[in-house]
Amino acid sequence: MSSHRHPQDQVRASHILIKHEGSRRKASWKDPDGRVISATTRDAAVERLTALREDIVAGKARFEDVAARHSDCSSAKRGGDLGRFGHGQMQKPFEEATFALKVGEISDIVDTESGVHIILRTG
């Protein structure tokens, strides 16, 4: 196994995604018609996500539980877990933010074409 030579080749992460009117796909498992998403500004999405992040950081809520309830990504069913990924598999801002985190750290708000995210690096 050559994994010790390139520890940065792959990471594992979970995330919480809040979509908004600027998102590429304005629909999710929670909002199949995209009614809520289309009416959500980026600012409102960031505000919601910031509040959720504060609860997690303060220990009031578990990342997985928040993801399962609030994330607009289908990974919500797995508590936000995206599994392992390497370079070039995710949108660039998402990838860069994840690789910059230490295991167990939660990112600040990250913008991609999908919406706004917070990312928890798990491996």
Q: Is residue 2 included in any domain, yes or no?
A: no
Please indicate whether residue 75 is annotated as part of the active site. Answer: no
What average pLDDT does the segment 18-30 reach?
97
The total number of structural domains in the chain stands at 1
Q: Cβ-count burial of 40 within 10 angstroms (0-12 exposed, 13-18 middle, 19+ buried)?
A: buried
Q: Is residue 37 included in any domain, yes or no?
A: yes
Please indicate whether residue 117 is annotated as part of the active site. Answer: yes
* Tokens representing residue 76 in the block: 């919500």
What pLDDT is recorded for position 3?
A: 44
One-letter-per-residue 3-state SS of 95-121: HHHHHHCCCCCECCCEEECCEEEEEEE
Domain range holding 71? 11-121
Please indicate whether residue 89 is annotated as part of the active site. Answer: no
Which is catalytic among the residues 14, 71, 107, 117?
A: 117
pTM: 0.92
Point out which residues pair with 18 in neighbouring strands: 116
What pLDDT is recorded for position 6?
A: 55
CA distance 6 to 56: 31
